[in-house]
Structure 1
């Protein structure tokens, strides 16, 4: 692989104009596709096939074909001024006029007045009207939205406070741009400090932006076909930007190193892609595999997120391997520091001693830190493990859920509508349970449905149960049950479990079957299914990391150490997420207005992403150690050499990723905010505690045993050669001939 990538890097450098033009054409093509493609049309009808709530939801769609269960809806909440009631003549007239106006819309399926649906609170201070549409929210026309907003405005002018929940006028999260801009700005500062050159700092940013542009345009172009959402694109841009900068950073850093060792520009580009590029390929593949592995969870939304993010990472890898060396060919000396450009001729004359210079090299912050750790490895190891273990303790109290409007900012009308309904009708009103009774084979369907409704009404924690509503065929009954607690309360989950636990006796008594669904039950079932899948998925990811690192490093103990470190990083980051978003520690500092269960998708998604990022740092750092070890250095010296060449760039890469992910904490969408925070702290723990402290401590304690591999296993495992050992040997053998025949490329600035 190293030899192939070496040739690819040299070719991209030589054919730089063609490679750059090809990427420009690709960006233009996908950009045109994004501009002309229809928007997403995902109706969300099958969030997680197989769970009870989803099967019941599908049954409703089958038995109640005209129910518009998948259509958009608006729940308009009316709050009377202090001392007044919504039933007062003027207020009632204004509300009924709004309902009549809304009913005239061409896309409206029904508009129900609160006064005909008994949707008025006991003290008459609050009421709500329900507007349902024939089409999904994404398909509502601007005319329909504007007509509803105008009618709402007229009621507000009459003196009533009006808030709107539901999907029809839902506040959409801000489009990407601000978070990415913050991340890019912080990354630019880090790169400038790391490289000391504007060109060297700008090149990774430029290539990462191009890669993200290609990925995002491709997602937008395919949004209508595959039902991709804004959230999907945000996550892809988050990862694409972070890894795009990091992968280009590693290639540029190795290019500068090879130039410092006396190699001419084209050769340095080939060596950079052949060595650092090999690590980029492997690191990228680990991220892609981990993200693509999310498809096995069985959640279509999670599958889309994982595949889109994996695609963005794949584009980032291709950009680093082709566009980066091509741009280096455009300006081969511009990425060098001022001192390196000044002393370039002197280093060219030292080409014959470059290997020796490469092996020894001056001390820097990385070598000093490595020697500090290796003087007291046991103490560093114990402190690191104990610290991460303490941070992981809150993860034992992890509660998973699917927060709704209650998790939104109070600046949104959906959150204010949620609070108003909770105050006027009780907390459980925002999360009613929907009961679907199949009475197809029952002699007296109405009696069976009534018995089921009465039994559920007597369940502890249920406030009220509506009368059964039958479909036209009379074989299915539908009714709602309002719990006492809110949608995300643990008590509501217990109510659902109690109803289902008593089902067998009730079904035997009536001969009918029934299931519990609705948004609240759906969220409960999804959370439970994802919680059950978390440990198996974590086990698969850990096993995968062991196998991959076994192939790469040809060692038994190094993969075990990497997997344990990954587990520590994941558990510590989950603990931090629980402490902030569930317990509320420091939540106000991050703009979290409502704490509660952690988003169900977040832990599994975090595991997949952190696995890939952890393997990134493991490969980039330990590959240089193994490279030094296989060239004859003692284990302790190999660790120091690895830190000499990789510590600064790994630290810079980690700081960049933390900056990019932290930018997404400002997102108004709770899932993006949570994932941004979780990834930022995960990178912090993994890069600075695990890879920079625990890894050298463990390798120092193990010595030569760290690189032990049974002979039989050595014969079976494929040779990946991430560190470029074969490439170095081949070049050494061809060095005399190359020196005599290869012409020197003219210097360019």
Structure 2
């Protein structure tokens, strides 16, 4: 008996499963299954392995049913940035109820540029184009450069149509843009340059080949799995399980889109999460099964034992991700909530597939899982085992040094986080190959950057006013003067009453672009100073609305609710780990280190996209702010994924602790036995995330980089340095938990 173990047993007595520790009981390989969670998982896994064709048939039936149902009744994805109760939403609702076609719906610009003779030389073609645009389905109105004075530049060479659509054009599909191409065909033939502004121009973006990111991510995962397992059969099992789960999960998501509004980013985020989590979960279970085959004669028994130990870790890991994503509901913003639902659906389906389809495939393959070797398998190789054992001993010998080194790395990477600026990434950040970027540049040069993000001011007049005509004129004059005197406003249109006389509507053009911090300050100034001052003692109420105001308000709402989301996610994860591992310090340490991991990953995002360090590598040619919902999504997703690796590591440590009562041995054994699988899983997950850097969406690239970097940090600095170093230092206190007696 080792000195440490002897000392532990002298203090506590020999530790065995169920030695008076209540639900600390764990399943012990080689013992008859009990009524504990481990025993139930053992019986489930063994049952799936003994009847593999039934389970496989069930998943095939589920897959076919889900795919066909989605084809027949699946919905479309669209963004809903509505913010009930906010001034911007109240203003939008008033326009919808009382405004005419020229102010309702969604606005977009079609920008015209004439190099020779100015636009006046093409007036007949422009007028004909305006009539053609107005006849396109779903177009509410089309105001041209000669019908709106402000839409015609002073040098006469640049102008734009303002199109009002019933919905965001993405709802009508990419083919919808061909109707506009046909309407402006004569203008282009007449030598006029025509560019589509956002959101119409987004339909013209060059698309990467469909499913390219998924294919590349899977290809990279195949390479990692083949190297890790050294067997085609073993590498193919996690791929088969995760791809099946992803197909089912996306089909279920499509059906949900048919009954509720899901954000346009939902399929992308769901694919990233479902594919990555599915590969990770299957990898952990497959590794445990192959290990048990060396000590178990019956493959079905090995499948059951793999489920009893690894299956519990997968269950807790999936629950951790679900709890973290549930924190997005705390935001109270429908757009954010739907993204959490989308990611949660595919992660939970991936966990279900891992816990049922994987053991069925174990039973079907049996010992043939190690066939089709690509050289000597290394997952059980002596060299690999010795490497991680030496690393565990090295960290155990110098825990303070590794703790300090890890904190230094995390702290350095987190420095840019202090300068993070939230803001909407507008068309000015798109590549110049995109038509909305060219339209943005033409408008900025001819009219000023603020023309790309005008503010719509809506005034609800007092319905009880005595002299309606005089009062309306008085309010309009006061509003026009106050807006014109407001610092930061470049120009103001004369306020126009609605057809029913209930509203006054004016357009204010900022001096700065939509993503400039000064525009956000202007919105607050108009909301809290200009409008109350202009409308005092009139009985009227003013609101600023429009796309730019909505996005800026969305940013403010998320920033305001971020502390509540952080508190919920951290507390929920802490309680989950506390109930799973019965250790106060283990749970608290995990929550703190996960926050450090998120801070470091966000620091890298700020350095690349906001500071511009290497941003050209990601197709971004200028500094852009961090999209407001990116930190919130990263918080929930990274916290959930970080818990995966924490659970895989701590679960193994806890098994040894419950058997031996030796913390040093528990940490060393847990680290040595899981380091390789965690590293392999992290490489798989990182490959999936980084594959989405090929997206044409700047925000998707931002998310892909942040998530990929967070996984790398978590699997290296956090799991291989900070966690074991802290647990070595805390010793037996890691596992202390009040017993209530």
Per the TM superposition, whether the score is higher than 0.5 is yes
Name the CA distance, whole Å, in 2 between partners of 1:691 and 1:374: 14
The secondary structure found in structure 1 opposite 2:439 is: helix
Change (3 A) 1:176 1:373: farther
Structure 1: distance between partners of 2:352 and 2:270? 16
Give, in angstroms, the shift of residue 551 of structure 1: 1.2
Given that 1:394 and 1:579 are in contact with CA atoms closer than 8 Å, whether structure 2 keeps it comes out as: yes
* Aligned residue runs from structure 1 range 61-80, under 5 A: 61-64=96-99, 66=101, 69-71=104-106, 73-80=107-114
Q: Quick one: distance in 2 between partners of 1:701 and 1:421?
A: 61
What is the TM-score with the length of structure 2 in the denominator?
A: 0.90
| Matching of residue 504 in structure 1 with residue 532 in structure 2 | yes
Q: CA deviation at 1:135?
A: 5.3
8 Å contact from structure 2 (residues 230, 376) kept in 1: no
Q: What is the distance in 2 between the residues matched to 1:140 and 1:213?
A: 25
CA shift digits 1:188-240 (9 cap, x unpaired): 11111111111111110111111111111222233232233441111001100
- Equivalent position of 1:406 in the other structure: 428
Q: Does structure 1 conserve the Cα–Cα contact (< 8 Å) formed by 2:111 and 2:195?
A: yes
Deviation at 1:302, TM superposition (A): 1.1
1:452 has 2:463 as partner: no
Match of 2:412 among 363, 371, 390: 390
**Inter-partner Cα distance in structure 2 for 1:99 and 1:342:** 70
Aligned counterpart for 1:37 among listed residues 57, 73, 91 = 73
Tell me how far apart the structure 2 counterparts of residues 301 and 587 of structure 1 sit (CA, whole Å): 27
In 1, Cα distance between the equivalents of 2:542 and 2:667? 64
Q: Kindly state the Cα deviation for residue 552 of structure 1 after the two structures are TM-superposed.
A: 1.4
Query: How has the CA–CA distance of structure 1 residues 609 and 141 changed in structure 2, closer, same or farther, with 3 Å as cutoff?
Result: closer
* 8 Å contact kept, 1:393–1:575: yes
Counterparts in 2 of 1:664 and 1:141: CA distance versus 1, 3 Å? closer
Residue 238 (structure 2) pairs with residue 204 (structure 1): yes
Shift of 1:168: 3.9
Which structure 2 residue ranges, 5 or more long, are not aligned? 1-36
Displacement, 1:548?
1.3
TM-score w.r.t. the length of structure 1 is 0.89
Task: Write the distance in 1 (CA, Å) between the matches of 2:201 and 2:337.
Answer: 27
SS state at 1:474 partner: coil
* 2:252 matched residue in structure 1: 218
TM-align CA RMSD = 2.4
Is the deviation greater in 491-500 or in 313-322? Answer: 491-500
- The match for 1:494 among 514, 521, 527 is 521
Alignment of 1:324-339 (within 5 A): 324-336=358-370
Q: Does 1:94 align with 2:125?
A: yes
Inter-CA distance 638–490: structure 2 relative to 1 (3 Å threshold): same
* Match of residue 9 from structure 1: 45
Q: Secondary structure at the match of 2:180?
A: helix
Structure-2 change in CA distance of 1:229 and 1:709 (3 Å)? closer
1:67-92 CA-partner distances (Å, limit 9, x unpaired): 57235x542111112x54122x2x22
Whole-angstrom CA distance in 1 between matches of 2:273 and 2:680: 16
**Using the alignment, how far apart are the partners of 1:193 and 1:116 within structure 2?**
66
Verify the 8 A CA contact 2:671 2:724 in the aligned structure 1: no
2:393 to 364, 371, 374: 371
Matches within 5 A, 1:684-695: 684-695=712-723
- Please say if 1:427 is aligned against 2:427: no
Q: Superposition pairs for residues 411-560 of structure 1, below 5 Å?
A: 411-440=433-462, 441-443=464-466, 444-502=471-529, 503-560=531-588
Measured after TM superposition, the shift of residue 38 of structure 1 is 5.3
Q: Give the whole-Å Cα distance in 2 for the aligned partners of 1:668 and 1:14.
A: 47
Q: Is the 8 A contact 2:119 2:157 kept in 1?
A: yes
User: Aligned in 2, Cα 1:113/1:221: closer, same or farther, shift over 3 Å?
Assistant: same
Cα offset, 1:328, TM superposition: 1.3
Q: How far, CA to CA, are the matches of 2:384 and 2:446 in structure 1?
A: 72
> Secondary structure, in 3 states, of the residue corresponding to 2:368?
coil
Identify the residue that residue 253 of structure 1 maps to in structure 2.
287
SS at match of 2:501: coil
Give distance in 2, aligned partners of 1:452 and 1:342.
Answer: 79
Which residue of 159, 176, 187 maps to 2:191?
Answer: 159
Mapping 1:344-355, distance limit 5 Å: none
Contact 1:61 1:67 in 2 (8 A): no
> What is the total number of aligned residue pairs between the two structures?
694
Q: How far off is 1:406 after superposition? A: 2.0
Q: Helix, strand or coil for the counterpart of 1:69?
A: coil
Q: Partner of 1:723 in structure 2?
A: none
Q: Please say if residues 230 and 374 of structure 2, whose CA atoms lie closer than 8 Å, have aligned partners that are also in contact.
A: no
Name stretches of at least 5 consecutive residues in structure 1 with no aligned partner. 344-356, 716-749
Partner Cα distance (2:170, 2:103) in 1: 15
How far apart, in 2, do the equivalents of 1:471 and 1:580 lie? 46
Q: Is the 8 A contact 1:37 1:222 kept in 2?
A: no
Which residues in structure 2 correspond to 1:717-736 (within 5 Å)?
none
Distance apart, 1:485 and its partner CA: 0.4
CA shift for structure 1 position 341: 13
* 1:478-530 residue CA offsets vs partner (Å, 9 max, x unmatched): 11100100011111112112222323333324332101111111111111111
Give CA deviations for 1:606-635 in whole Å, capped at 9, x if unaligned. Answer: 000011111101110111111111111522
Distance 1:339 1:585, change over 3 A: closer
